[in-house]
Amino acid sequence: MQYVVGPPPCEARHQTPRADPRRSAGQALAAHATISQATLHRRFRTQLGTTPLAWLTAQRVALACRLMEEGEVRLDRVARLSGLGTATNLRSQLKRRTGLPPTAYRRRFGPG
């Protein structure tokens, strides 16, 4: 699966404040949008057909894929830059969403 190169919607990665470890991703998104978590969840379901967490994870995996396609080789760095946290989580999410482990993904879509 190839991903289109482009920024995430609304340049979210540049506008979102630093994550507060005491808050969930849903809480942080709702606070950033100045709406309740319930309203955020309803709007995501209605407009995108998914949950905020599933959308956010998909965006993070898409960014991780772009980083690997552009040649970033260190999984821990890709995981950190994409917001997935750890190389273990990156491997798990990438395999779940693309069907490929990172090595196979790089071989298929990486540079040269």
- What CATH number does residue 99 fall under? 1.10.10.60
Give the pLDDT score at 28: 84
- pTM value? 0.74
Indicate whether 15 belongs to any domain.
no
Is 36 a domain residue? yes
Question: What residue has token string 């482990």?
Answer: 101
Residue 3 placed within a domain: no
Tens of each residue's pLDDT in the chain, 112 residues: 444 555 554 444 444 445 555 667 788 888 888 989 999 999 989 999 999 889 989 999 999 999 999 998 899 999 999 999 999 999 999 999 999 999 999 999 988 7
Where in the sequence is the domain holding 95, given as residue range(s)?
Answer: 25-109
Asked whether residue 7 is domain-assigned, the answer is no
Domain count, the chain: 1
Asked, for residue 98, whether it belongs to a domain, the answer is: yes
- Is 16 among the domain residues? no
Give the burial class of 100: count Cβ atoms within 10 A of its Cβ; 0-12 exposed, 13-18 middle, 19 or more buried. Answer: middle
Residue 55 in domain: yes
Q: How far apart are CA 41 and CA 102, in angstroms?
A: 31
39 domain residue, yes or no = yes
CB 106 within 8 A of CB 65: no
